[in-house]
Amino acid sequence: MTALVFVDSNVLLYRRDLTEPVKRPLAAAWVEHLWRAESGRTSCQVLSEYYTNATRKLRPGLDADDAWDDVQALLCWHPQAIDVDLLHSGREIERRFKASWWDSLIIAAAQSQNCTVLLSEDMQDGATYGGVTVRSPFTLSINEAAASYTARTPRSRHPPRGRPRKSVQPAVTTESRE
């Protein structure tokens, strides 16, 4: 099973940035790989950042309809919504790791979606936040990621239902010898 990979807006932007001849094909390869593996994840926050920056900061900027088409396609990645639980998780990450608020929300979204890897150029490469490792798509090859990161099964925070199992003691037999 392929590990889930959370993608930050900068990776999506580099995929469309004509002024980045080195980073553009690497970002495009990552996104294409994640589409094929069906393991890409993101958040509504990231999609909002992508749309705004793609239409306003890229030179030349993307047409609003083209940027919206990208956002529409990425809805298949089940973007994490910003809700009360995500805000609480983000605040805990901000306090514990001293991360920026916006990065904390991204990390919380990656955790919420059980991602193993968070692809981002904006955070420290190799930093780990509660089971999510930040990796730069420009230093981590797709093949290395497949070999190094495996899907993890989320552990429940709740105790199992029902009564605890009784431990079975082996019967002690004594044989009498005459």
Sign of the four-CA dihedral 29, 126, 120, 39 = positive
Residue 25 pLDDT: 97
pLDDT band at residue 169 under the 50/70/90 scheme: low
Give the pLDDT mean for 33-62.
Answer: 96
Residue 103 contacts by C-beta under 8 Å, 6 or more apart in sequence? 122, 123
63-111 pLDDT, tens digit per residue, is 999 999 999 999 999 999 999 999 999 999 999 999 999 999 999 999 9
Say which range, 45-59, 114-128, 148-162, has the weakest mean pLDDT: 148-162
Cβ(8)–Cβ(27) below 8 Å: no
Residue 166 pLDDT: 56
Residue 153 pLDDT: 47
Torsion, Cα 36 37 39 42, to 10 degrees, reads -20
Residue 170 pLDDT: 52
Residue 172 pLDDT: 52
Q: For the chain, first and last CA: distance in Å?
A: 62
Nearest CA among 125, 19, 12 for reference residue 74:
12
Residue 40 pLDDT more than 90? yes
Cα(88)–Cα(82) distance, rounded to whole angstroms? 10
116-156 pLDDT, tens digit per residue, is 999 999 999 999 999 999 999 999 888 876 656 654 444 55
Residue 115 pLDDT: 97
Question: Would you list the domain boundaries of the chain?
Answer: 5-79+112-148
- Residue 156 phi/psi, 5° resolution? -70, 140
